[in-house]
Structure 1
Amino acid sequence: MLGGFLELKKLKNKTCNTECFSAIGFTSRVGDDSVMCIERERQALLEFKKGLVDHNGRLSSWGSENEKENCCNWEGVHCSNQTGRVLELHLNAYQIDGFQRLQGMNISPSLLELHHLTFLDLSGNDFNESPIPKFIGSLSNLKYLDLSWANLSGPVPHQLENLSHLQYLNLGWNDLKIIENLEWLSRLSSIEYLDLSSTNLSNVANDWLEVVSHLPNLTSLRMLWCDPPPMSLSAFSYFNYSKSFAPLEILDLCHNQLVHIPKSFGDICTLRELYLSSNNLNVQLVELMNNLSGCAKNSLEVLDLSLNQITGSFPNFAIFPSLKDIHLSHNKLNGTLPKSIGNLYKLEVLNVSSNFLQGVISESLFSNLSKLQSLFLFNNSLSLEFSFDWVPPFQLDVMYLTSCNLGPRFPNWIRTQRKLSFLDISDANISDTIPDEWLEDLPPTIRVLNLSSNQIHGRLPNVSAKRLNGLAIDLSANRIEGPLPLFPSNLTILKLSKNRFSGSISSLCKINGQLLTLLDLSHNILSGRLPNCFMHWHKLIILDLAGNNFFGEVPSSLGSLSQLQTLCLNDNNFSGHLPSSLRNCSSLTIMDLGNNEFSGKVPAWIGEGLPRLIFLLLGSNKFYGSIPLHLCWLKHLQILDLCLNDISGTVPQCINNFTAMAQKGKFSIDIVVTIIHGNNLVYLHKYVYSALFVLKRKEYVYSNNLGLLKIINLSSNKLSGKLPSEISGLLELVVLNVSRNYLIGEIPQMIGQLKQLESLDLSRNQFSGEIPFSMSDLNFLSHLDLSYNNLSGKIPSSTQLQSLNANDFIGNTALCGPPLEQKCPGEETSNQSKTTIKDNGENGNEFRKWFYFGMEFGFPLGFWSVSCSLLLKRSWRHAYFLLLDNTKDWLYVTMTVNMTRLWRKFQRHG
């Protein structure tokens, strides 16, 4: 399931330049050995190279050696075949064979010696936030200038107005700003392509767009994310752009807070592409389309109105016969898709995802769309009802139909699509087996396959390894059973969680293409020892094997996963010591090893070698010994769980070194971006870490706000000594549980400083003295248990404390005052008989309190989720999955099924 949305876009050759060259009349000429470059220009280029750091050897052909004396043969240098003069520098960082970035503190002025330079492309390099040098304005013969994505900052120099021959200018995606006005731009009368995306226009006069509109030869204007002044937005709607933008073909004004589309846009007869996504358009779609129904209706090919607040139903799109791409996703459209869409014979991309569309779509809608390549219908309430033997007239490249009703049978028409790169039919009500012959013969173009969250059952046949490079597969949350099949060796992502796979996972060792970044096999019935082949997966970021029946020691090859960020092995039968090689996984932020049979001392190397840890979950194992002081080095730690072990000694005073528990703010591990290249597509997946908490029989799911939670759970061990007063410095702590230990002394007097506490459990220790009065300041406290200690005196008065249950204070014979019925000395004695509060049994009480900490962590990353369970007992697993099918009375069922085994667990830990 997609969390957020999948961003999918065509990659343009970043030099965009091939198209633009022909349009502007450029011809790139390479050097000729018979024509030597000019020595002065050669020296200028070498001087330019001195100011650059070339990590990839991009400029290795540039040199002063005799064999390199002809600079016309250097990488990126194009000379005149007649004069040897340097005409063009092609030094963008985006190459056919990869990304090769140059770095420098600035752009060297030695380029001024290239008097005949007509073409300069330095895009994608890193110039360390330096400004655009003013001398660029002196390269008077320039026709093409691209400084986009080059880490430049500061004001755009007005000296660029001297480039009177300039036809192509791209300054986009830097940290630039325009001071006062764009008057200098009006002097570039030859300009045809202009990109100022992400350039700050907030201080520019209100006529910024009018200035741009008067450029007589402008055919392409891209000004995304320009932060224009608010006053200009209202004036924007009333200017007649049709008379000014006469030759305009491409207009991109995304992310600019626009609230209207001027009717005059519809009168730009040359307009082919209009991009207005991510603005503040809050009108009916019919009204917008009426504004574009002038002569532009005959030329318009691409229309992007996505990510706005557009409402209403679909108008008659048939009046726009040239439309190829329609993007209306993430709006508030209702109704269903009109039949008029089927009359757009040239349509290639249809994206209406994430709206409120409903109804049935029949095959007749697509009967004339033979050129359709990309279909996005996800996150609506649409049903696709096609006959079983229907053969579409199109061959799709992208099919994204999440949450559409395609079932119950597997949609047979998908088997006809032989050019698919991206297929997502997750949560589509499919209750069927996957046709063996289809999965075994996937199209060689496929890169992403997502069939998750259906009711697909049966065994999974082998997935063909033919020509499948970088394939991502998500089959999670189905009912697939049997052993793991053979998968392609070059998998990037494999997500099989929440199925019924069984047996060993040794066959996965054949996935050795060095591309695997995510492996999630959680919540199946897999078993056996882990194979020692993790050294094949150097790029692995997420490994989740939770909720299976694996046993034995963890193989040492896990330590070779230097990029691993999430490791979830919880709820298995792993045993033995943790391999010391894990200290090499220095990128780990989440390590969940709870609910196993791990033994030995808690390793000190966790604090030494894993400095980025945010979640450390070792609960319900057989660890013994003291808590190593080295754990205090984990300054980013926000959840520490060591409960249900045999840990002794004291609680370290250095616990206040967990500075992340003392500070507000979210951690940053929630977002992991995976990019898959294939068939000129880029897929960006957003992983959001989430957790399920059960508190007082209510469920709380945290995802985006999970970073606000801070938890320490040391319960059910053999800790002794005092609870250090330093714990009062962890000001953002939300949950503290040190119950069922041998702690003595008074409760820290300043514990009331922990004003964010929602759950505090100090029960079944030997705390003495009075309850600190500061505890009355814990206004967010909803769960408190101080039972079975040696506390005395009056319970402090506060609305929060007196609203709690008397059971939370029992077992302290010298305590008095509400909510207990025992009166404090000197208070009037009630004549009414006392009601004896009975302990309903350690097992029942402790079950309730212990189950509170059952958590499930998830990565709904893009459309994959990676789940880790914080304290989900193996004996609860079957009841947990009942929750997925029937949430009614789930807590009651879970408690009933698991009471006996849980009681044994508590007996073992005393």
Structure 2
Amino acid sequence: MVINRSCSGVFRAQEIKNQTCNTECFSGASSHLDPNFNCSSLAMIMIMGERSLIILYAILTFLLHLKPAIGFTSRVGDDSVMCIERERQALLEFKKGLVDHHGRLSSWGSEDEKKNCCNWEGVHCSNQTGRVLELQLNAYQIDGFQRLLGMNISPSLLELHHLTFLDLSGNDFNESPIPKFIGSFSNLKYLDLSWANLSGPVPHQLENLSHLQYLNLGWNDLKIIENLEWLSRLSSIEYLDLSSTNLSNVANDWLEVVSHLPNLTSLRMLWCDPPPMSLSAFSYFNYSKSFAPLEILDLCHNQLFHIPKSFGDICTLRELYLSSNNLNGQLVELMNNLSGCAKNSLEVLDLSLNQIAGSFPNFAIFPSLKDINLSHNKLNGTLPRSIGNLYKLEVLSVSSNFLHGVISKSLFSNLSKLQSLFLFNNSLSLEFSFDWVPFFQLDVMYLTSCNLGPRFPNWIQTQRKLSFLDISDANISDTIPDEWLEDLPPTIRVLNLSSNQIHGRLPNVSAKRLNGLAIDLSANRIEGPLPLFPTNLTILKLSKNRFSGSISSLCKINGQLLTLLDLSHNILSGQLPNCFIHWHKLIILDLAGNNFFGEVPSSLGSLSQLQTLRLNDNNFSGHLPSSLRNYRSLTIMDLGNNRFSGKIPAWIGEGLPKLIFLLLGSNKFYGSIPLRLCWLKHLQILDLCLNDISGTIPQCINNFTAMAQKGKFSIDIVATIIHGNDFAYMHKYVYCAMFVLKRKEYVYSNNLGLLKIINLSSNKLSGKIPSEISDLLELVVLNVSRNNLIGEIPQMIGQLK
């Protein structure tokens, strides 16, 4: 899955590759981020459905807007200046309405040592008067999100008569409305209520904020009633963000109102659902006069069908974001509409995720371009040499189109400032002489599915500033140069060489790093023992290779950052080392399809955050350790085709409440099916076949309510690393499994969530098939063959259509 930067930092997920897999699937993702984003790193791992992805984009976009677009101060006040008592009491009253789980407001209090509110977290006062000028309580801190929770924004803040700066973004106000009293802060210059879980209409009282320069109400559940006339009174406004605000009921003059704000330099209106008639107004409006000072225009995720020619007449326009609209037609024609005076000022152009077709125009007429994003369109032909004349170009993204042909070094001869190159998912070949050394030093290189082989590209080894390198599926049939792997660039965060024909043995991988590193070498032909890896790895994927021997060397990965470990489908052997306690952040552990044997070590139970455990197709034996009951977040447990023995533990039903797939088939389990398995209401696949299980089928089987409900559960598990400067990278791990249906083997991956299966075949079950099984209306497979069942088939079995 790829996440492209578009809409000034809003992210859009797009499938980039349909893969055929045996037991697992993987793809990577990347994005540019706003250069203001200065977080060092952030790891988030979650089960992702469509809704969860939207939440992820929301979080990412929030991070991108942490710094003001206008140069407001972030600290005023002096320790020797005392605050005003009335204002101090007002702030304490405001605090009473908040839930502070993280102790962010611990400095706020009535104690003598806390009496000066000018020293409180987020409160900044005038050096001369002690009046509170700024209240800066956004939810982002250096060490992560620290949200304040509240039912509303307390009116006690009205006592802060001199307030010029109010930032409550990223907190949670429980879908309360924006209070009308905010319009009484007549001195306010900066107001940020974005991402604050606010809902309802935007109060027209905001029109009284005549000094306001920065207004961000984006990414709440707000709506505008009737019109935006109140905005026209904010004559000082320079930055305006109404993203995700519902404009469907607004009169058709909203564009005209916004365009007449005399000082507006940045306009962001993403996902605003404007009325369709108003969109046609783009064609008839003179933006060159109305949007005279406009520098940034962001209208992503709306319903635009074309680029108005008047956009090209906005002579101050530097950044234009029109991603994820309905733009179609030929790229040449669309670019002609931008060839007015804007062609000299335009630095960033984002037309990604549209339906634009045709070949490339002559980009040389846009001499100031630094960032071009045309990814995920329908462009064809080759990359023109005119791109090589864009001397200022830093980012080139043309991925996921229908481009073809050979790219030679002449295209890059003048691009000495190039930093990010996205060419993936086209039919392009990069052919350079072996000794070619580029003039640029890239930070991000994403060349998946480009033809780079058969030799390992020598020019890539010259790039010593790389943060992100993905040359997967690039037709490389060579060994990895030892000296390069042993001396990776110290900046590297992601290394993806998967799905090539790389062979030979791996040397020890560079450990000269401070931050976490994600490595994906899966689906190659690498052999030999596992080398030493850096101790602070975040992700390690080595599946579908020929690695052999023990994995005890991995115990040196003790930086406690590891979130995904996939060694499946190699020829690794031996007993598992008892060092899992180092990996308490591990979310995915996949050791399937190897030759491991012996009992599972007790330290495996220390992985309290684990969501996927795959030990299937090995030679493990013994009882399941009771420490595994700590997997409160586990959704997938696949232990099939081993030699596990003993009774099926009842604690599986008690301790693993989120379990969706439970596969224990082809083992040596005996005894009856524990009734507590029926507690697994989310279970969609239960496979206990080919064991020695006896007793009856539990009547409580109808408690598997997920098997009675329609709908697909998304089981894509995503581990995301966010780089501190300019891109995000998403690892998407898709669980795949093979099932025998009607005597044929089928492999399911992306569509696995549609399956609802109960397989109890080849055991020693007795008694009747319980009639309750007919309550599982969405059951796809029921296999109870090769048992000792008796009696009639339940009469209502026919409703399992």
TM-score under structure 2 normalisation?
Answer: 0.90
Q: How far does the alpha carbon of each residue in 1:430-472 deviate from its partner, in whole angstroms, 9 at most, with x for none? A: 0000011111111111111100000001111111111242111
2:735 aligned counterpart, secondary structure? coil
Q: How far does the alpha carbon of each residue in 1:169-214 deviate from its partner, in whole angstroms, 9 at most, with x for none? A: 0011111111111011111011000000111111111121221111
1:303 aligned counterpart, secondary structure? strand
Query: How far has the Cα of 1:628 moved from its partner?
Result: 1.2
2:550 corresponding residue in structure 1: 504
1:243 aligned counterpart, secondary structure? helix
Q: Is the 8 A contact 1:10 1:682 kept in 2?
A: no
Percentage identity across paired residues of the two chains: 94
TM-aligned CA distance change 1:679 to 1:13, over 3 Å: farther
2:287 aligned counterpart, secondary structure? coil
Query: How far has the Cα of 1:293 moved from its partner?
Result: 0.4
Q: Structure 2 CA distance, aligned partners of 1:752 and 1:525?
A: 46
Q: How far does the alpha carbon of each residue in 1:188-241 deviate from its partner, in whole angstroms, 9 at most, with x for none? A: 011000000111111111121221111111000000111111222223333222
The answer on 1:642 being equivalent to 2:688 is yes
Structure 1 residue aligned with 2:332, among 275, 278, 286?
A: 286
Q: Is the 8 A contact 1:11 1:682 kept in 2?
A: no
1:218 aligned counterpart, secondary structure? coil
1:19 corresponding residue in structure 2: 24
1:672 aligned counterpart, secondary structure? strand
2:774 aligned counterpart, secondary structure? helix
Q: Which runs of 5+ in 1 are unaligned?
A: 756-910
Q: Structure 1 CA distance, aligned partners of 2:642 and 2:18?
A: 51
Q: Is the 8 A contact 2:543 2:566 kept in 1?
A: yes
2:539 aligned counterpart, secondary structure? strand
Worse overlay, 225-234 or 386-395: 225-234
TM-aligned CA distance change 1:307 to 1:116, over 3 Å: same
Q: Structure 2 CA distance, aligned partners of 1:55 and 1:67?
A: 22
Q: Is the 8 A contact 1:488 1:511 kept in 2?
A: yes
TM-aligned CA distance change 1:17 to 1:414, over 3 Å: closer
Q: How far does the alpha carbon of each residue in 1:704-741 deviate from its partner, in whole angstroms, 9 at most, with x for none? A: 43222111111111111222222122111111111111
Q: Structure 2 CA distance, aligned partners of 1:109 and 1:41?
A: 12
TM-aligned CA distance change 1:28 to 1:619, over 3 Å: closer
1:359 corresponding residue in structure 2: 405
Q: Which runs of 5+ in 2 are unaligned?
A: 1-7, 26-68
1:415 aligned counterpart, secondary structure? helix
Structure 2 residue aligned with 1:8, among 4, 13, 20?
A: 13
Q: Structure 1 CA distance, aligned partners of 2:452 and 2:733?
A: 26
TM-aligned CA distance change 1:399 to 1:492, over 3 Å: same
Q: Is the 8 A contact 1:241 1:268 kept in 2?
A: yes
Q: Structure 1 CA distance, aligned partners of 2:678 and 2:236?
A: 64
Worse overlay, 577-586 or 97-106: 97-106
Q: Is the 8 A contact 2:24 2:733 kept in 1?
A: no
1:188 corresponding residue in structure 2: 234
Q: Is the 8 A contact 1:30 1:79 kept in 2?
A: yes
Q: Structure 1 CA distance, aligned partners of 2:727 and 2:633?
A: 28
Q: Is the 8 A contact 2:24 2:749 kept in 1?
A: no
Q: Is the 8 A contact 1:716 1:739 kept in 2?
A: yes
Q: Structure 2 CA distance, aligned partners of 1:17 and 1:591?
A: 17
Q: Is the 8 A contact 2:24 2:734 kept in 1?
A: no
Worse overlay, 161-170 or 630-639: 630-639
Q: How far does the alpha carbon of each residue in 1:492-525 deviate from its partner, in whole angstroms, 9 at most, with x for none? A: 1100000000111111111111111110000000
The answer on 1:350 being equivalent to 2:355 is no
2:592 corresponding residue in structure 1: 546
TM-aligned CA distance change 1:354 to 1:640, over 3 Å: same
1:135 aligned counterpart, secondary structure? helix
Structure 1 residue aligned with 2:459, among 404, 410, 413?
A: 413
TM-aligned CA distance change 1:164 to 1:52, over 3 Å: same
TM-aligned CA distance change 1:400 to 1:514, over 3 Å: same
Q: Structure 2 CA distance, aligned partners of 1:486 and 1:6?
A: 36
1:760 corresponding residue in structure 2: none
Query: How far has the Cα of 1:331 moved from its partner?
Result: 0.4
TM-aligned CA distance change 1:688 to 1:198, over 3 Å: farther
Q: Is the 8 A contact 1:447 1:468 kept in 2?
A: no
Q: Is the 8 A contact 2:391 2:415 kept in 1?
A: yes
TM-aligned CA distance change 1:16 to 1:240, over 3 Å: farther
TM-aligned CA distance change 1:24 to 1:278, over 3 Å: closer
Q: Is the 8 A contact 2:21 2:736 kept in 1?
A: no
2:310 aligned counterpart, secondary structure? helix
Worse overlay, 402-411 or 622-631: 622-631
TM-aligned CA distance change 1:97 to 1:565, over 3 Å: closer
The answer on 1:603 being equivalent to 2:649 is yes
Q: How far does the alpha carbon of each residue in 1:81-116 deviate from its partner, in whole angstroms, 9 at most, with x for none? A: 111111111211222343222221111111111111
Q: Is the 8 A contact 2:720 2:728 kept in 1?
A: no
Query: How far has the Cα of 1:659 moved from its partner?
Result: 1.1
TM-aligned CA distance change 1:466 to 1:357, over 3 Å: same
2:771 corresponding residue in structure 1: 725
Q: Structure 1 CA distance, aligned partners of 2:183 and 2:587?
A: 46
Q: Structure 1 CA distance, aligned partners of 2:312 and 2:157?
A: 44
1:546 aligned counterpart, secondary structure? coil
TM-aligned CA distance change 1:700 to 1:292, over 3 Å: farther
1:613 corresponding residue in structure 2: 659
Q: How far does the alpha carbon of each residue in 1:103-161 deviate from its partner, in whole angstroms, 9 at most, with x for none? A: 21111111111111111111111111111111100000001111111111111110000
Q: Structure 2 CA distance, aligned partners of 1:145 and 1:87?
A: 12
2:232 aligned counterpart, secondary structure? helix
TM-aligned CA distance change 1:185 to 1:111, over 3 Å: same
TM-aligned CA distance change 1:238 to 1:696, over 3 Å: farther
2:490 aligned counterpart, secondary structure? coil
Q: Is the 8 A contact 2:764 2:787 kept in 1?
A: yes
Q: How far does the alpha carbon of each residue in 1:289-342 deviate from its partner, in whole angstroms, 9 at most, with x for none? A: 000000000000000000000000101000000000000000000001000000
TM-aligned CA distance change 1:11 to 1:640, over 3 Å: closer
Q: Is the 8 A contact 1:165 1:188 kept in 2?
A: yes
Query: How far has the Cα of 1:33 moved from its partner?
Result: 2.9
TM-aligned CA distance change 1:543 to 1:754, over 3 Å: same
Measured on the aligned residues, the alpha-carbon RMSD in Å equals 5.1
Bigger relative contact order, structure 1 or 2, given CA contacts below 8 A and separation 6+? 2
Worse overlay, 562-571 or 76-85: 76-85
Query: How far has the Cα of 1:699 moved from its partner?
Result: 7.0
1:318 corresponding residue in structure 2: 364
Q: Structure 1 CA distance, aligned partners of 2:23 and 2:765?
A: 70
Query: How far has the Cα of 1:25 moved from its partner?
Result: 5.7
Q: Is the 8 A contact 1:354 1:379 kept in 2?
A: yes
Alignment of 1:525-544 (within 5 A): 525-544=571-590
TM-aligned CA distance change 1:564 to 1:128, over 3 Å: same
Query: How far has the Cα of 1:747 moved from its partner?
Result: 2.0
Q: Is the 8 A contact 1:8 1:683 kept in 2?
A: no
Q: Structure 2 CA distance, aligned partners of 1:4 and 1:551?
A: 48
Q: How far does the alpha carbon of each residue in 1:593-635 deviate from its partner, in whole angstroms, 9 at most, with x for none? A: 0000001111111111111111110110111111111111111
TM-aligned CA distance change 1:675 to 1:536, over 3 Å: same
Worse overlay, 468-477 or 298-307: 468-477
Q: Structure 1 CA distance, aligned partners of 2:626 and 2:608?
A: 14
Q: Is the 8 A contact 2:380 2:401 kept in 1?
A: yes
TM-aligned CA distance change 1:142 to 1:18, over 3 Å: farther
Q: Structure 1 CA distance, aligned partners of 2:23 and 2:621?
A: 60
1:704 aligned counterpart, secondary structure? coil
Q: Is the 8 A contact 1:29 1:81 kept in 2?
A: no
Q: Structure 1 CA distance, aligned partners of 2:75 and 2:359?
A: 53
Query: How far has the Cα of 1:264 moved from its partner?
Result: 0.2
Q: Structure 1 CA distance, aligned partners of 2:758 and 2:572?
A: 31
1:124 aligned counterpart, secondary structure? coil
2:251 corresponding residue in structure 1: 205
Q: Structure 2 CA distance, aligned partners of 1:714 and 1:595?
A: 15
1:120 aligned counterpart, secondary structure? strand
Could you say which structure has the larger radius of gyration? 1
TM-aligned CA distance change 1:531 to 1:676, over 3 Å: farther
Worse overlay, 631-640 or 741-750: 741-750
Query: How far has the Cα of 1:584 moved from its partner?
Result: 0.8
2:297 aligned counterpart, secondary structure? strand
Q: Is the 8 A contact 1:351 1:375 kept in 2?
A: yes
